[in-house]
Amino acid sequence: MLFLQQAPRYLFFTGKGGVGKTSLACATALHLAEQGRQVLLVSTDPASNIGQVFGLGIGNRITPIPAVPGLAALEIDPQAAAGAYRDRIVGPVRGVLPDTVVQSIEEQLSGACTTEIAAFDEFTALLTDVALTQQFEHIVFDTAPTGHTIRLLQLPGAWSGFLAAGKGDASCLGPLAGLEKQREQYQAAVAALADSRHTRLILVARAQPATLREVARTQAELAAVGLTQQHLVINGVLPQAEAAADPLAQAIHAREQVALQHIPAELAGLPRDTVALKPFNLVGLDALRQLLTDARVADAGMPADPIAGDLVAQPLLALVDAIAADGHGLVMLMGKGGVGKTTMAAALAAELARRGLPVHLTTSDPAAHLAETLAGSLANLSVSRIDPQEVTRLYRQQVLQTRGAQLDAAGRALLEEDLRSPCTEEIAVFQAFSRVIREAGKKFVVMDTAPTGHTLLLLDATGAYHREVARQMGDKGLHFTTPMMQLQDPRQTKVLIVTLAETTPVLEAAHLQDDLRRAGIEPWAWIINNSVAASHAQSPLLRRRAANELEQIAAVRSRYAGRLAVVPLLSDEPVGIDKLQQLIRLSRRED
């Protein structure tokens, strides 16, 4: 593997949920340790499962892996880090400042920006505290800091005074206000990340157009903030030998090869490795040792149909019937990038429109390609896209014309700098989102949301807006409805969580469900997409993967989902209105 050659001290694996970055990070750490190196494996993923991979509890402490001399692991808990970070900022002023001021500070620190920054705060010590990590020759990170986090830390040093003076239109200023005392440590950490002699970033993707586009955006975003020492790993590629006697495997192999032939230009010049799809779950040392090898795994003699009688779920059609019965409402598709939210949103919208119901299909995902997925038009169906760049431009313009008009030159310059922060985009998208969902009182609004982290920021903004309106309107005794109230009302909003029947996507979807419940939003249904277990594959490798999916499907059905649809992996991409409507009827049902 090219990314393992002359490995530097720091290796960062980044990619969307379900692409296999945890497995690759664990396999890399094991490989280096078995070469006699001292290695620390670190996860900053809130859904970390590296303890499960190695079969022991790890948590937020450096823990030796007994079965692998030289290897230790650490799981940073972003939520716990965010709580400690908030306490450090709010604690000294609690009881000193008025309660309303303390409440305002806490609200500014309640969002996903704080969680992201606090996690970075935790692992900067691993990059800058020599005494803490000096015994390790390599530190392998599962989940790198995003370009979003690094851009926040590169903003000017005058936020605190600007915020205290009440001049700024708050975006990320609250979470950032507590960073000033540690600025030198953060600058050293960012410098270490950008130093190609010591740091290598491994971008992990699947051979699928959507995930390749997403990792191309990540590549450009991180390169823009100085992280240029990048490698690309295409994970989970179906071996050509599996396509010999299985039409489904043939189609998958052909699709993957086309995706690789049309790889985005940003990725084409990067050093690239390809890792073959494995038939087994990547848990345990033996499985990890086989991940980075090209040796073909022998067929274990799976039966022709390992799933008979085990897959019980409502078909997607049953979910559409229940949604259509309401006549109107907001339908939100949520989940990590790469799980098929755009396809599911387009299929649901097309089926509702086919029934003569008015439907507005929209997206807040910058990577979504609704028009390409629909590949046609349909009566009763309108399609739109919330363009993050355009709505952000209009939002900046509005703030500068209102708040900025009252500032002197220095204050206006600081406001303009703050408005270039990434959180500004989230606020602008939220405003556009609020306008769209008002339509759901008269028609169906089907929304393909952005990847989960961005969506939760959006919901944070919705909650803050709701609380402010409630304070203002409640004092006057007036009736009001905020976007958050609409999201919390199951008669008006149905949230469908989309995932894959794999360990990490299911864990991430479960965490998303917990986050939604904390916001008072109860998910209405789950959709397991691209299920091999529902496709009756004949390839030995795919049959074994189908059997492995059953545990995840059973977990979703018994522990997480009140309603569940399982959508099969298809030979043909579900592109075009006819194929999308066929997809609605393809979910397997055994009642």
- Any idea which residues carry the catalytic annotation? 18, 20-23, 45, 504
Yes or no: say if 553 and 501 are a contact pair by the CB < 8 Å rule: yes
Encoded tokens for 180: 């000033």
Yes or no: say if 46 and 78 are a contact pair by the CB < 8 Å rule: yes
Measured CA to CA, the distance from residue 533 to residue 564 in angstroms comes to: 15
Encoded tokens for 123: 């692992």
Amino acid at 214: E
Judging by beta carbons within 10 Å of its beta carbon (0-12, 13-18, 19+), is residue 522 exposed, middle or buried? Answer: middle
18: left (phi over 0), alpha (psi -120 to 50) or beta: left
* Angle, helix 341-354 to helix 577-584, in steps of 10 degrees: 90
Which has the closest alpha carbon to 511: 48, 146, 115, 22? Answer: 48
Measured CA to CA, the distance from residue 12 to residue 291 in angstroms comes to: 18
Measured CA to CA, the distance from residue 327 to residue 581 in angstroms comes to: 19
Measured CA to CA, the distance from residue 316 to residue 564 in angstroms comes to: 8
Sheet holding 138-142, edge to edge: 63-64, 71-75, 39-43, 138-142, 10-14, 199-206, 230-237, 272-276
Residues ≥6 apart with Cβ < 8 Å to 461: 111, 426, 427, 430
Which has the closest alpha carbon to 347: 328, 384, 374? Answer: 374
- SS3 of 59, please? coil
Residues ≥6 apart with Cβ < 8 Å to 87: none
Sheet holding 359-363, edge to edge: 381-385, 359-363, 444-448, 329-334, 493-499, 525-531, 564-568
Q: In angstroms, what CA-CA distances link 480 with 427, 435, 459, 469, 489?
A: 21, 15, 19, 8, 14
